[in-house]
Amino acid sequence: MGNIPTSVKHCLSYEQLIQDYPWLGSRLQEEKEMVPTRVKIQLINMLSETGLPVIEATSFVSSKWVPQMADHTEVLQAIHRSSHARYPVLTPNMHGFQDAVAAGATEVAVFGSASETFSQKNINCSIDDSMLRFEEVICTAKQQQIPVRGYVSCALGCPYEGPIEPTKVAEVVKRLYELGCYEVSLGDTIGVGTPGSMAKMLQYVMKEVPSSALAVHCHDTYGQALANILTALQMGICAVDSSVAGLGGCPYAQGASGNVSTEDVLYMLHGMGIKTGVDLSKVIEAGDFICKALNRKTNSKVAQARSKSS
Amino acid sequence: HNVQDGASAGKTLPERVKIVEVGPRDGLQNEKTVVPSEVKIHLIDMLSEAGLSVIEATSFVSPKWVPQMADQVEVMMGIHRRPGVSYPVLTPNLKGFLAAVNAGAAEVAIFGAASELFSKKNINCSVDESLQRFEVVTKAAKEAGVPVRGYVSCVLGCPYEGKVSPDKVAQVAKRLYSMGCYEISLGDTIGVGTPGGMTEMLQAVSREVPVNALAVHCHDTYGQALANILIALQMGISVVDSSVAGLGGCPYAQGASGNVATEDVVYMLHGLGIQTGVDLPKLMDAGAFICCSLNKKTSSKVAQATCKL
């Protein structure tokens, strides 16, 4: 009864690992305090020990806009890279891409939006213009054999425009994929999505791009993240973005939560018998470390429960 | 075939879901602060106005054990009963049942467990003994024309025993149903369940009890509640227990969360196009009221997000 067994088997029989992308790099950029470089490095090193296959390390956006990531070169050069993991970095344009490569980056990411207004307000240009920028980056990256991941924000709603048409999301995803992104992550930027809107959006997107090239990046601002991730899994998606300890609040709703916690996602996946290759207790340790360093409580319910139970 | 999955996941969902609001009883019973009767009454009245059709009002367990519910009679007499809304109360035994009916209760609830150890530690007797006690209550209730709802706790795990067998859950659910409970609420008491375990357990239980007589009572201690509820809906369950503002922590993990927040459940259901009859803004008002009275922050993410935008 129901669809769960099918999709779980699908993931298992194709031996596709669930890739978790703890957004520690970019999400630290939403934490108010400036995190010392050595703390970032230690966090990434701890995450490298957990078995996570992809860890977004930092961002090569100009430090004028994102001062928290000004130490991007130092971070990238100092981390111990595990042979089992990849360390993509954000590169909004050619300048950032070149700096990233010079600093030793071996994978990069570009950030598009399904909402025109969000694109204007966030990166100061239209979706079309942003694609031109990305095309340059992706072409150059291809020549240097550097894989590029694409992100599409506002996939389930925009803080300015409200609901976003699934056809628009599909269009933007398709463009990024055809430009050469090996994977496109669909972001519910303000966490307003529910399983209904997630299913609908994915139906449209999967008409244009194979599910094997898609990932979901759900925010937990309205508590819907795990239910939305479950829906995506049922539809064949096998890559999930998350953030250790649920780091990174929502810049559009002061004090509200943002990213879903890696710990909570893992708990669900492992409970369902889905392989991830990740050691949950080590992720919890990494979460404890960064929360202590930031002097704040974890947003992960699993971490809260584990630390409090007798 | 992936597109089919998504489409059929949508098709199997119920059109309407009944929410059983347990905040005033299960929620407040598990909060540290004891709340005055007027506050409880006002909360229940606000919840009635929010469109909820079932609101668990209080508990006729001895105040020796549950001092927070000592004002049970006052609360029952003080609430404004909205037509069409049911206000069930907990009745652990015949004594509690008679006191409840005397105080005007028109529906009662009994609480079993799928775990022997939990039963012993929680109500001081074995599962079998508890079911015998309940049979006395359901018999009396039948005679009085009072519907009885049954709860089974520890359906996806026990704080003492660990794993709980789905067949054991099915057995206990079946007995409660056979003795006359019109509905059985399956409780993930410590919130350890995940969609895999939920599926397995519901498959076992629905072989013994019809799915339209089942409800799920998920705890959010590990953040799994909404995912578990979604699975239950996909399997045909159309009754969901929840607690306004996520009232009621977990007594087995100090400081950890417990009940799932009604606001978050309603947000998901409405987003899925499922009717609940609940007015979300009015529900959030009730949540804001009780959190203010308890001097604590809401556990509902929807409430947190909405206040801050």
CA B274 – CA B239 distance, rounded (Å): 12
What pLDDT sits at residue B9? 47
Q: Does B289 touch chain A (CB under 8 A)?
A: no
A57: Cα separation from own chain's centroid: 11
Residue A22 pLDDT greater than 90, yes or no: no
A65's tokens: 């806009």
**Interface subset of A 236-275, CB within 8 angstroms of B:** 236, 250, 252-257, 261, 264, 267-268, 270-273
Q: Does B232 touch chain A (CB under 8 A)?
A: no
Per-residue pLDDT tens over the stretch A185-239: 999 999 999 999 999 999 999 999 999 999 999 999 999 999 999 999 999 999 9
Mean pLDDT, rounded, of chain A: 86
Split at pLDDT 50, 70, 90, the class of A66 is confident
**Interface subset of A 187-216, CB within 8 angstroms of B:** 191, 193-197, 199, 202-203, 206-207, 211
Contacts of B287 in chain A (CB under 8 A): none
- Which residue in B has a C-alpha nearest to residue A11's C-alpha? B2
Packing angle, helices B225-234 and B195-206, rounded to 10: 40
The helix (run of H) or strand (run of E) holding residue A169 is helix A166-179
Split at pLDDT 50, 70, 90, the class of A11 is very low
CA B155 – CA B214 distance, rounded (Å): 13
Residue A296 to residues A47, A67, A291: CA-CA distances in angstroms?
A: 19, 21, 5
A23, A260 contact by CB (below 8 A)? no
Residue B31 pLDDT greater than 70, yes or no: yes
**Interface subset of B 184-223, CB within 8 angstroms of A:** 191, 193-197, 199, 203, 206, 220-223
What pLDDT sits at residue B78? 97
- Which residue in B has a C-alpha nearest to residue A246's C-alpha? B223
CA B42 – CA A245 distance, rounded (Å): 37
Contacts of A245 in chain B (CB under 8 A): none
Residue B153 to residues B60, B106, B119, B197: CA-CA distances in angstroms?
A: 18, 23, 9, 15
Q: Which long-range contacts (CB under 8 A, 24 or more apart) does A59-65 make?
A: A59/A25, A59/A26, A59/A29, A59/A89, A59/A90, A60/A89, A60/A90, A60/A91, A60/A92, A60/A96, A60/A97, A60/A99, A60/A100, A60/A103, A60/A105, A61/A90, A61/A92, A61/A96, A62/A95, A62/A96
Residue B162 pLDDT greater than 50, yes or no: yes
DSSP-derived pairing of the beta strands B89-90 and B58-59: parallel
Cα of B156 to nearest chain A Cα, Å: 11
B88, B100 contact by CB (below 8 A)? no
Q: Does A17 touch chain B (CB under 8 A)?
A: no
Contacts of B309 in chain A (CB under 8 A): 252-253, 256
The type of residue at A96 is G
Contacts of B256 in chain A (CB under 8 A): 301, 304-305, 308-309
What pLDDT sits at residue A31? 57
Please give the positions of A annotated as active site.
250
Question: Taking CB atoms and an 8 Å limit, are B3 and A207 in contact across chains?
Answer: yes
Q: What average pLDDT score do residues A245-261 get?
A: 78
**What percentage of residues in chain A have a pLDDT greater than 70?**
86
Contacts of B224 in chain A (CB under 8 A): 226, 264, 267-268, 271
**What percentage of residues in chain B have a pLDDT greater than 90?**
86
A106's tokens: 């071996």
A264, A211 contact by CB (below 8 A)? no
Question: What is the Cα gyration radius of chain B?
Answer: 18
Catalytic residue among B158, B250, B292, B307: B250
Q: Does B237 touch chain A (CB under 8 A)?
A: no
B169, B128 contact by CB (below 8 A)? no
Q: Does B94 touch chain A (CB under 8 A)?
A: no
Question: What number of other Cβ atoms are within 10 A of residue B95's Cβ?
Answer: 12
A201, A195 contact by CB (below 8 A)? no
Q: Phi, psi at residue B110, to the nearest 5°?
A: -125, 150
A-B Cβ pairs (cutoff 8 Å, strict): 174
Question: Taking CB atoms and an 8 Å limit, are B253 and A309 in contact across chains?
Answer: yes
In 3D space, the residue among A165, A166, A227 whose CA is nearest the CA of residue A191 turns out to be: A227
Question: Taking CB atoms and an 8 Å limit, are B193 and A271 in contact across chains?
Answer: yes
B283, B244 contact by CB (below 8 A)? yes
How many residues comprise chain B? Answer: 309
Q: What average pLDDT score do residues B296-309 get?
A: 86
Per-residue pLDDT tens over the stretch A265-295: 999 999 998 888 899 999 999 999 999 998 9
CA B214 – CA B232 distance, rounded (Å): 10
**For residue A46, what is the DSSP state?**
H
Q: Which of A3, A202, A227 sits opposite B227 (nearest CB)?
A: A227
Contacts of B222 in chain A (CB under 8 A): 264, 267, 301-302, 305
Per-residue pLDDT tens over the stretch B117-161: 999 998 889 999 999 999 999 999 999 999 999 999 999 999 999
Provide the 3-class DSSP secondary structure of residue A261: strand
Question: What number of other Cβ atoms are within 10 A of residue B96's Cβ?
Answer: 21
Is B250 a residue of the active site? yes
